[in-house]
Amino acid sequence: MSRTRRAPQARRAPPPGRDPEPRALAAVVEALRHYVRDVRLHEPLWRHVTLRVGGPADVLVVPHSADELRAAARVLFGQGVPFVVLGQGSNVLIADGGVRGVVVKVGKGVDRVRWDGEAVTVEAGYGLPRLAQEAARRGLAGLEFAAGIPGSVGGGVVMNAGAHGHQLAEVLDAARVVTPEGEEVLTRDALGFAYRTSVLQQRPAVVVEATLRLRPADPREVRARLDAWLAQRNATQPIGPPSSGCIFRNPEGDHAGRLIDAAGLKGLSVGDAVVSEVHANYIVNRGAARAADVLALVEQVRARVRERFGRELELEVKLLGDFGAGAPGAPGVPRAPGSGPREPGRVPGGGPEASP
Ligand SMILES: Cc1cc2nc3c(=O)[nH]c(=O)nc-3n(C[C@H](O)[C@H](O)[C@H](O)COP(=O)(O)OP(=O)(O)OC[C@H]3O[C@@H](n4cnc5c(N)ncnc54)[C@H](O)[C@@H]3O)c2cc1C
C-alpha cells in the first residue's frame, strides 16, 4: 500500500497562544548564546532522531566543539536548568509535544579523535560505526561489534551499547564528563556498567570524551569479523525504515524479539508505527508515525506478551519529553542529562542485540 508522508513540521508547530520564549528560558538562551554559536528555538526534534518522530524542543543547543559543549553544560548546571542530552537520537522516543526547556545535541563538531597505540581518546559526538571501521583499518580489535550501532560514543557510553555478545564496557577505560560539580574522569568501574546501562542513566552528567583500549590483531581477522557481523545484522534486522533499534530490553534468559514473534505480533500496527516483519523487537515508522502511536503499540505488545508468556517487557529506548505519568517508564519533563526513565526491576544478563 502506498502512503503519503505527512510533513512532520506542519503538525508539530507550537500550540497557538503559547509563549514562544518564556522569560526564564530567554535568560538561559542569552547566556548560552554567549558560548555556543548554534542555539535554535522550537527546533523540530524528529529531524534529529533515527525514528523520525517527535515534536520541537523549546531550545536546541548544538555545540560545534567540545569546548562549546563544556560551556553549555556549565551554564545549564550553573543556572540549575534541567536539560536533556541527545546524541545521534538512535535510542530515544521523543514526545509528540516535544521537549519543554533545553535539549543539547552532541554530534558533529564534538568529534575529535586521538589514536595512541592501542588507546583511542574520542569525543562524545563521534559515530560508533566510524570508530569501529577506523579501528579495524588500524588492526585494532575489540570494537567490531559496534560497526552497525548507529549511535555516538557518548550515547554508547550511557547505554553501554552492545551486540554479538560484546559491549562497550569491555573496551572502555574511562569517560570524561561534566556534572553539576564540575568536570571529572570516571573510570570503567565508576561507570557501573551492566546490560544496556551505566550510572550515567541515574545521575546528571554530560559525556564529553571517552578513552577506549583496544587489542592489536591481524587487520584481516578484525576486518573479517566486522564484515561478518555487519552482514548478519543486514540479514536479520530492518535496514532502511526509520526505527530506534530494539524497543525492549531482553528479559532475563530470553529475547524480547523471540517472545514478540512467538506471540504472533509481527506486522501489528498503530497508525504508521509497525512491529517489524524482519525483527520483532523493532518498531518501524512507515511514514507518519507519532510518538502516541509508538507508545500505544508498545502497550499492546507488552500486554500480549504478558498474557501469553507471563513475561514483562521493559523499554530499552529512552522517552524524552512529556508523555504523562501513565507512559511506561515515563520520565516527566525535562530530565537531567543522560537519564532516560530509570528502568524498574532487575537488570538482566547481557545478550547480543543482534540476536532475535
Ligand atoms: C537500526 C538501529 C540498530 C541498533 N542496534 C543496536 C545494537 O545492536 N546495540 C545497541 O546497544 N544499540 C543499538 N541501537 C540503539 C542505539 O544505537 C544505541 O543505544 C546507541 O548507543 C545510542 O547512541 P545515541 O548517540 O544515538 O544516543 P541517543 O539515542 O541520542 O541517547 C541515548 C541516551 O543517552 C543519553 N546521551 C546521549 N549522548 C549523551 C552524552 N554525550 N552525554 C550524556 N548523555 C547522553 C541520552 O540522553 C539518552 O538517555 C540501534 C539503533 C538503531 C536505530
Nearest to 65 by CA among 126, 21, 149: 126
**pLDDT over 50 (residue 81):** yes
Could you give the C-alpha distances from 213 to 88, 167, 170, in angstroms and in order? 23, 13, 9
| Spatial separation of the C-alpha atoms in residues 337 and 176, rounded to whole Å | 14
CB 188 near ligand 1, within 6 Å: no
71 CA distance to ligand 1 middle (Å): 23
Average pLDDT, the chain: 88
C-beta of 157 in contact with ligand 1 (< 6 A): no
Is residue 326 scored above 90 in pLDDT? no
Phi, psi torsion values for 320, nearest 5 degrees = -120, 130
Provide the pLDDT for residue 21: 55
Distance of CA 29 to the CA centre of its chain: 25
The burial class, CB within 10 Å (0-12 / 13-18 / 19+), for 120 is buried
Rounded Cα gap, residues 112 and 210, in angstroms? 11
Nearest to 142 by CA among 174, 165, 175, 125: 165
What is the DSSP-derived secondary structure letter of residue 106? -
Q: Which amino acid is at 277?
A: E
- Cα diameter, the chain: 63
Q: pLDDT tens digits for 181-197?
A: 999 999 999 999 999 99
Domain locations along the chain: 24-105, 113-219, 250-313
Decide if 24-105 and 250-313 have a common fold. no
Axis-axis angle for helices 128-137, 219-236 (nearest 10): 150
pLDDT grade, residue 333 (50/70/90)? very low
91 close to ligand 1 (CB < 6 Angstrom): yes
Ligand 1 pocket residue status of 178, Cβ below 6 Å: no
Nearest alpha carbon, ligand 1 atom 12: 161
The answer to whether the predicted template modeling score (pTM) of the entire model surpasses 0.85 is yes
For helices 66-78 and 23-33, give the axis angle rounded to 10 degrees.
150
- Distance (angstroms) between ligand 1 centre and the Cα of 27 equals 31
Give the pLDDT of residue 224: 98
Just give the CATH number of 250-313. 3.90.78.10
Pocket flag, ligand 1, residue 154 (CB < 6 Å): yes
Q: Which atom belonging to ligand 1 lies closest to the Cα atom of 153?
A: 25
Grid coordinates given for 241: 525504515
Q: Sheet harboring 99-105: ordered strands across?
A: 39-44, 56-61, 99-105, 83-86
Q: Is 340 in the pocket of ligand 1 (CB under 6 A)?
A: yes
**Cα of 120 to ligand 1 centre, how many Å?**
20
261's enclosing H/E stretch is helix 256-262
Query: All 3 cell numbers of residue 166?
Result: 560484546
**How far does the centroid of ligand 1 lie from the alpha carbon of residue 129, in Å?**
12
Task: Note the residue count of the chain.
Answer: 356
264/23: higher pLDDT: 264
Could you please state the CATH topology (level 3) that the domain comprising 24-105 is classified under.
3.30.43
Cα–Cα distance between 132 and 174 in angstroms, integer?
18
SS3 174: strand
Q: For domain 113-219, which CATH number applies: 3.40.50.1100, 3.40.50.10240, 3.30.465.10, 3.40.50.300? A: 3.30.465.10
In this predicted structure, the answer to whether residue 203 has a pLDDT above a threshold of 70 is: yes
